[in-house]
Structure 1
Amino acid sequence: MIGSEIKFSDDSAQKDSRRRSCWTPKSNSEFWLTIIWIVVIPLAGIITGMVFLGLGIQNRESSKDLDSSVDFVQLENKCTISEITFIKTIQKTGDKGKKTGCEDVYQYWFTALNLQDEDPVYQNITNDTFVSFDKHQKRDTNDCSRSTRVDPLLEVNDEVDCWRPSQPGTDLNKWYRCGNEECIKVFPPADDVDRARNIAGSQYLGGIIALSVSSGMLVIGSVITWWLRKKYYPETIASNRNLPTARFLWD
């Protein structure tokens, strides 16, 4: 009976062994560089981009139907500012503790008279004093320690326009900021609409940028890894592979 057997030369066996270990890094630094380029940084960027893009899409949907002229009605009588309370100063920081903004926060207390004449829902209201939401006021400088507190936007005894929901007692869109249960507002509700659309637009744009940059990093990382592989392990590149020599042994 005639049998056949294929045996590889020692040189071919060594090359095959090197091929099996082609992903073994030459050093720890090379290994971590590859992992960071291909997995950690791009993956983190892609996840961040997807989160911001998702929030942007969701918030654009929730804010596109906002219409302050429909959702709110201006009161016939003006409101009077009765008290102004300073809450706190906020120092905003970014990467590595860099100071990126400074804000002073105030609350404005005001009286709204004759609400009972506005809508039957207000018939049982016994207190005509209300408070605004926490109003953030930006300083001209980013460093709070290099500037003084900004003055309030209003003063005590100022008579100003104010607004109430067009349908009192119903749930309002989440973007409308209310400092009191009745959501009587001393600041224009149109400001809330602009704020909502600016936030949604920034999140949407930030998500697109993060996804685009991260995808580019993934491509660049793949090219660099291929170059390192070609440089240190040329036998693993298809164009440089040599077929192993074989010899037949006949019984």
Structure 2
Amino acid sequence: RTSRHHHFLGTMRGVAIGLSLAYACCLAVVALIGFSAITTGIVLLAEGDNYGDTAEDLSPQKDFSKLPESCVIEDVIHSYREEEDGYGHHCYDDYSYVFSYQGGRYRSRGNAALRYDGVCHGSQRRSPVFVVGEEVPCWEPNVRPVATQYNCGNDMCYKIFDPENEVEIAKDTGDAMEAAGLSSLLSGILCCCCCAPAVWYAGKNRGHASEQPMPGMDAGPQAAVVLPDQYGKGTQGQVVQGRVIGQVQGA
């Protein structure tokens, strides 16, 4: 009976240790996610703020000039992609254009357009902004290097998209990066705040448990073992492991 009791206590202790380790691992994962989200949020906030502020300082009228001749659209390059988020599928058409100017051929930046809030299969693609053979106004930069916010599609940075519109797009991109960074930062802080009380509670329970003796290991008479004295004698009638014994004789 005593052996079964000890075996049961050992099993329960092993289960408790296993659950504690699993709980600690879960807390560690949540904390890691929280710190990663905080780091990502800080980076996005900083980069978004810098990107948007730089766009605010740009002057498209000074940085670009309209070319004296029109550019001619030589080719329309199309692809599509499908993305999924927490709200469903979204289908996008991606266009870029090959155009010529004074015998040279250049490629524009990409231009994405939402086709349909759903899967791409069975949906009709959106029409391109330009068509082959169309003559369009184009711009060349007055300054070098050209700011990233102008989104050049070729080394000369000849553009068939109005630079003023590019600046507005850059401002919106900076705002979107800041919004994503703020969301990530708040999510990370929330994760860490949820972990802190759990860690405190686990530590408190661990300290409380360490002060409590294990069942069957207390100092009561049922667990007392009286050793013989120096003359080989013990106290008459002591309880040793649940049994009453008589006087212990020395060897």
Shorter-chain TM-score: which interval?
Answer: 0.5 to 0.7
Counterpart of 1:28 in structure 2 is 21
Aligned to 1:145, the other structure's residue is in SS state coil
Give the 5 Å matches for 1:45-124.
45-81=37-73, 83-94=74-85, 100-112=89-101
Name the amino acid aligned to 1:68: P
Question: Matched residues in 1 for 2:27 and 2:96: separation?
Answer: 53
Question: Matched residues in 1 for 2:49 and 2:101: separation?
Answer: 37
Name structure 2 gaps, 5 residues minimum.
1-16, 212-251
Q: CA deviation at 1:45?
A: 1.4
Q: Does 1:164 align with 2:140?
A: yes
Normalised by the length of structure 1, the TM-score is 0.65
Question: Matched residues in 2 for 1:236 and 1:44: separation?
Answer: 34
Question: Matched residues in 1 for 2:179 and 2:50: separation?
Answer: 13
Contact 1:132–1:185 (Cα < 8 Å) also in 2 = yes
Counterpart of 1:118 in structure 2 is none
Question: Given the superposition, is the C-alpha separation of residues 150 and 26 from structure 1 closer, same or farther in structure 2, using an over 3 Å criterion?
Answer: closer
Contact 1:25–1:31 (Cα < 8 Å) also in 2 = no
Name structure 1 gaps, 5 residues minimum.
1-23, 114-126, 238-251
Question: Matched residues in 1 for 2:168 and 2:42: separation?
Answer: 24
Question: Matched residues in 2 for 1:236 and 1:217: separation?
Answer: 29
Name the amino acid aligned to 1:137: A
Q: CA deviation at 1:76?
A: 3.7
Aligned to 1:91, the other structure's residue is in SS state strand
Q: CA deviation at 1:232?
A: 6.1
Q: CA deviation at 1:109?
A: 2.9
Give CA deviations for 1:108-136 in whole Å, capped at 9, x if unaligned.
233445xxxxxxxxxxxxx2443322332
Question: Matched residues in 2 for 1:234 and 1:27: separation?
Answer: 14
Considering only CA atoms, is the larger Rg found in Structure 1 or Structure 2?
2
Aligned to 1:209, the other structure's residue is in SS state helix
Contact 2:76–2:131 (Cα < 8 Å) also in 1 = no
Counterpart of 1:201 in structure 2 is 175
Question: Matched residues in 1 for 2:114 and 2:75: separation?
Answer: 17
Name the amino acid aligned to 2:44: F
Q: Which has the higher contact order (CA 8 A, sep 6+)?
A: 1
Normalised by the length of structure 2, the TM-score is 0.65
Contact 2:52–2:172 (Cα < 8 Å) also in 1 = no
Q: CA deviation at 1:54?
A: 2.8
Aligned to 1:175, the other structure's residue is in SS state helix
Of 213-222 and 104-113, more deviation after overlay is shown by 104-113
Question: Matched residues in 1 for 2:34 and 2:83: separation?
Answer: 27
Q: Does 1:173 align with 2:147?
A: yes
Name the amino acid aligned to 2:181: G
Counterpart of 2:32 in structure 1 is 40
Name the amino acid aligned to 1:80: V
Aligned to 2:42, the other structure's residue is in SS state helix
Question: Given the superposition, is the C-alpha separation of residues 162 and 51 from structure 1 closer, same or farther in structure 2, using an over 3 Å criterion?
Answer: same
Name the amino acid aligned to 1:30: Y
Percent identity, please.
24
